[in-house]
Amino acid sequence: MSISTSLVFWIWIAVFVALPLFVLSFVKNGKGKTFIMSLFLILYLALLVVFIIGDVGITRTNVTIGFDFTHGVGGKVVNWTFADLELLDTIINIVMLIPLGIILGYFFRHLSVLKAVLICWYLGFAFGFILELSQYILPIARSVQLSDAIFNMISLFIGGFIGRVCVGLSKKIYKQK
């Protein structure tokens, strides 16, 4: 299946960045807000699994998703350097987990901004490592790169900060009303 890269990008931004930020900013705190954010989390994680196990090819014009499990398990080359990075790969890996950080920022709303962001940082490290390890172990045609794990960690950190700040602003808005 092949889809326009710009279409995928704008849908991703609308569904996993704009809508959660809208919910965080303008929906009054309560069970409804928690339910909506939980739905975003489940949908996001489901799509992330598809991107992890799928043979995803992203170019400037097309995104292709296939499921080819004919490759061997493990034994892949791990790229430990930052020498072969392309700008598009870097952007994708930085942007990829920002929505997860935004959503987690809501669920860590009872913590201080610093604690919430640090937890997102640690989760980003663990999540990035798990993503790369799964790409190494699973019989899929995916490369394993240390830079991806580091950029995923930065991505979750940024998203957690954005989400937690939006929750804090939302609390201030509703206290003033």
Give the residue extent of every domain in the chain: 2-176
Give the H/E segment covering residue 98. Answer: helix 98-107
Compute the radius of gyration of the chain from its Cα atoms. Answer: 17
> Both tokens of residue 146?
């240390």
> Both tokens of residue 33?
């807000």
Q: pTM score, two decimals?
A: 0.81
Cα within 13 Å of Cα(29), Cβ side:
14
Calculate the CA dihedral of residues 93, 99, 101, 103 and round it to 10 degrees.
-160
Q: What is the pLDDT along the chain (177 residues), one digit of tens a residue?
A: 567 878 888 888 888 888 998 888 888 778 888 999 999 999 999 888 887 777 677 777 777 766 666 666 566 677 777 777 788 888 888 888 999 999 999 999 999 999 999 999 999 999 889 888 888 887 777 778 888 889 999 999 999 999 999 888 887 777 765
**DSSP-assigned states of every residue in 45-62:** HHHHHHHHHSEEEE-SSE
Q: Is 108 strand, coil or helix?
A: coil
